């Protein structure tokens, strides 16, 4: 098992930072405060005038444990919750250890009520260890920045879906405005003490340049959590120069895969005419150096394996298997945001072909699809939902009966405590991404397979495929081949299943999320040391 843990990574990063304050910047915040309707007790105060004093001290709310609410006598409660996502959970212990500052969009309905005059709140609520600085966006900014440029331009462009990419100047202007707003907030938080800034993802590509103009010597790094496209596709973007110049204000840029690094380096060379050391992963542009490195992201292995091993999970599986819709000898699983990049349509077409081609499995084959709602404000996503659900209906009509249908479709977000049960229960999981930066579902499934009886079927176009070569790798565009791979997975002998899963588990456990963090911060430290040596040599 990996020696990297939350405790060790915190101990590792602390001396690297020394007296430097870590400022993490992301679109998503680690704690969200929301209003909820609540059933309230009668006011305890006897004084009738207390009716006018209906709002509790919201500072008390900030000290509550996650998912616990402080009731307000107006009939509402403020609840603090953590967003879904392994990255946010993984970064939290780092921030707690270094007592840094996390700058993020305040998206919760009660976020404004819980900050002080400087838009700050101490988190986590039950044991405050670091500062969350919230950035406020108007509805128009959210539409243009988040749903517009970030997810209707950059997302499809980077995932090779040019036909879906919208290049609207109004969206670009909103993206510029919001990146500047984040830059202003980070600049304010850098005052008074040495700082290092770590920016997350494609929402904030222009933020590094904003910071570099105002704080020339500030250490800045950024991790890009989605693919970077080849130059042949990237070149169509009208703002290709501005995006690259924004990112090259970083000292270090991280991608999941070596191929994404190569794509980025080629874009910098061709679009900007930058000097590029392809072998060393170094870009020199207008007198600055930017290092580009692959850091394949992972999961907290024990966080999934622990609950999966618990007796409660076994009891829950027994109850689930007793339900008619899940009482199949063979049960597969898909877990995805309902996104066109995940290949869910191709998956169901392959399942339909499998049931056509191998009729002996009809009646004993079931499949659970957990489709997590995503970006429902965008028409592309609504159309994908309609297409997926029409396929589910067609397959169930063709191969089901009044009593039972092969596809059990759940359009909802499941909490990890429930999801881990499905991972352990599944005989196989299908990851059919058409293009994916990493895909952590594959790794979560591996960690949860404590009995080692499941098979991972993984698209060769998911970043995870480069690491998880003991999975059954597929081309999701080849429906016939995927149908045959389903049969291979189902008929795989138990010994081979166990051996494959054991090798997958060894890799994921050793290359966990904390090793990912260690590699990034160690690389940044090497870059800073190299810069210090160069600066000293110039002085001498």
pLDDT of residue 91: 84
On whether residue 362 sits in a domain, the answer given is yes
| Dihedral of alpha carbons 401, 407, 410, 411, sign | negative
244 to 202, 204, 240: CA distances (angstroms): 12, 12, 6
Longest distance between any two alpha carbons in the chain, whole Å = 84
Mean pLDDT throughout 386-409? 96
Here the tokens at position 24 are: 């993490």
93 pLDDT more than 60: yes
User: If you average pLDDT over every residue of the chain, what do you get?
Assistant: 91
Q: Which pLDDT tens digit goes with each residue over 478-525?
A: 999 999 999 999 999 999 999 999 999 999 999 999 999 999 999 999
88-92, 233-237, 440-444, range with the lowest pLDDT: 88-92
| Dihedral of alpha carbons 322, 326, 327, 329, sign | negative
11-25, 27-41, 91-105, range with the lowest pLDDT: 27-41
Mean pLDDT throughout 371-389? 96
Collapsing DSSP to helix, strand or coil, 222 comes out as: strand
pLDDT of residue 321: 94
Phi, psi of 527 (to 5 degrees): -65, -45
211, 218 Cβ separation under 8 angstroms: yes
57-61, 73-77, 266-270, 295-299, range with the lowest pLDDT: 57-61
On whether residue 373 sits in a domain, the answer given is yes
Beta-carbon contacts of residue 79 (< 8 Å; ≥ 6 apart): 33, 34, 36, 67, 68, 69
Collapsing DSSP to helix, strand or coil, 128 comes out as: coil
pLDDT of residue 59: 40
pLDDT of residue 83: 73
On whether residue 330 sits in a domain, the answer given is yes
26-35, 76-85, 148-157, 238-247, range with the lowest pLDDT: 76-85
219 pLDDT more than 70: yes
Q: Which pLDDT tens digit goes with each residue over 317-367?
A: 999 999 999 999 999 999 999 999 999 999 999 999 999 999 999 999 999
Query: Which has more confidence, 124 or 183?
Result: 183
336, 108 Cβ separation under 8 angstroms: no
108: DSSP letter: S
248 pLDDT more than 70: yes
Mean pLDDT throughout 159-184? 98
Interaxial angle between packed helices 311-321 and 301-309, expressed in degrees from 0 to 180 and rounded to the nearest 10: 70
On whether residue 80 sits in a domain, the answer given is no
On whether residue 415 sits in a domain, the answer given is yes
The size of the chain, in residues, is 540
Beta-bridged to residue 233, according to DSSP, are none
Question: Cα dihedral angle (366, 367, 368, 369), rounded to 10 degrees?
Answer: -150
308 pLDDT more than 70: yes
Beta-carbon contacts of residue 300 (< 8 Å; ≥ 6 apart): 6, 86, 89, 90, 512, 513, 514
* Residues 30, 355: Cα–Cα separation, whole Å: 43
100: DSSP letter: -
* Residues 137, 143: Cα–Cα separation, whole Å: 10
CATH of the domain at 462: 3.40.50.2000
On whether residue 424 sits in a domain, the answer given is yes
On whether residue 382 sits in a domain, the answer given is yes
Number of domains in the chain: 1
Beta-strand relationship, 69-71 and 76-81: antiparallel
Sheet holding 455-459, edge to edge: 407-411, 365-372, 330-337, 428-431, 455-459, 472-474
| Ranges of H-type helices in 33-138 | 58-61, 86-98
Here the tokens at position 327 are: 């009482």
* Residues 236, 535: Cα–Cα separation, whole Å: 39
On whether residue 487 sits in a domain, the answer given is yes
12-21, 149-158, 341-350, range with the lowest pLDDT: 12-21
pLDDT of residue 40: 40
95-109, 332-346, 393-407, range with the lowest pLDDT: 95-109
* Confidence tier at 84 by pLDDT (50, 70, 90): low
What is the span of the domain harbouring residue 419? 301-510
Q: Tell me the whole-structure pTM to 2 decimals.
A: 0.91
* Confidence tier at 533 by pLDDT (50, 70, 90): low
Here the tokens at position 445 are: 């499934």
Collapsing DSSP to helix, strand or coil, 198 comes out as: strand
71 pLDDT more than 80: no
63 pLDDT more than 50: no
């Amino acid at each position: 098992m990996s020696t990297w843990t939350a405790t060790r990574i915190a101990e590792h990063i602390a001396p690297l930072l020394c007296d430097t304050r870590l400022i993490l910047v992301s679109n998503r915040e680690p704690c969200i405060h929301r209003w909820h309707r609540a059933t309230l007790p009668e006011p305890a105060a006897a004084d009738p005038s207390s009716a006018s004093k209906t709002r509790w001290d919201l500072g008390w709310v900030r000290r509550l444990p996650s998912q616990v609410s402080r009731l307000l006598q107006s009939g509402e409660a403020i609840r603090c919750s953590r967003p879904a996502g392994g990255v946010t959970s993984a970064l939290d212990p780092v921030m707690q250890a270094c007592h840094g500052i996390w700058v993020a969009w305040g998206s919760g309905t009660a976020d404004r009520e819980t900050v002080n005059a400087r838009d700050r709140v101490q988190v986590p609520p039950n044991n405050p260890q670091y500062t969350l600085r919230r950035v406020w966006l108007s509805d128009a900014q959210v539409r243009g920045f988040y749903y517009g440029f970030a997810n209707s331009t950059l997302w499809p462009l980077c995932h090779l879906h040019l036909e879906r990419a919208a290049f609207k100047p109004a969206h670009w202007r909103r993206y510029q405005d919001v990146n500047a707003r984040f830059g202003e907030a980070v600049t304010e938080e850098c005052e008074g003490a040495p700082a290092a800034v770590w920016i997350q993802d494609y929402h904030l590509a222009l933020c590094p340049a904003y910071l570099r103009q105002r704080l020339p010597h500030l250490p800045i790094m950024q991790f890009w959590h989605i693919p970077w496209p080849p130059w042949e596709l990237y070149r169509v973007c009208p703002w290709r120069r501005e995006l690259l110049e924004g990112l090259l204000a970083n000292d270090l840029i991280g991608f999941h895969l070596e191929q994404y690094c190569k794509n980025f380096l080629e874009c910098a060379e061709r679009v900007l005419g930058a000097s590029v050391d392809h072998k060393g992963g170094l870009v020199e542009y207008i007198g600055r150096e930017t290092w580009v490195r692959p850091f394949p992201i992972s999961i907290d292995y024990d966080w999934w394996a622990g609950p999966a091993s618990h007796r409660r999970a076994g009891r829950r599986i027994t109850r689930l298997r007793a339900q008619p819709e899940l009482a199949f000898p063979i049960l597969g699983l898909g877990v995805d945001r309902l996104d066109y990049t995940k290949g869910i349509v191709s998956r169901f077409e392959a399942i339909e072909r499998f049931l056509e081609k191998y009729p002996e499995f009809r009646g004993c084959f079931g499949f659970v699809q957990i489709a997590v709602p995503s970006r429902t404000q965008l028409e592309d996503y609504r159309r994908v939902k309609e297409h997926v659900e029409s396929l589910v209906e067609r397959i169930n009509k063709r191969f089901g009966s009044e009593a039972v249908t092969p596809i059990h479709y759940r359009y909802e977000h499941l909490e990890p405590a429930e999801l881990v049960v499905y991972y352990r229960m599944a005989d196989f999981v299908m990851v059919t991404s058409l293009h994916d930066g990493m895909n952590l579902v594959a790794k979560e499934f591996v960690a949860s397979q404590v009995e080692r009886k499941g098979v991972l079927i993984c698209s060769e176009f998911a970043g995870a495929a480069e690491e998880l070569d003991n999975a059954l790798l597929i081309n999701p565009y080849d429906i016939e081949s995927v149908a045959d791979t389903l049969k291979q997975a189902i008929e795989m002998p138990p010994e081979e299943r166990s051996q494959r899963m054991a090798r997958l588990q060894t890799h994921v456990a050793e290359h966990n999320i904390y090793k990912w963090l260690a590699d990034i911060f160690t690389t940044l430290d090497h870059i800073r040391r190299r810069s210090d040596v160069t600066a000293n040599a110039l002085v001498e």
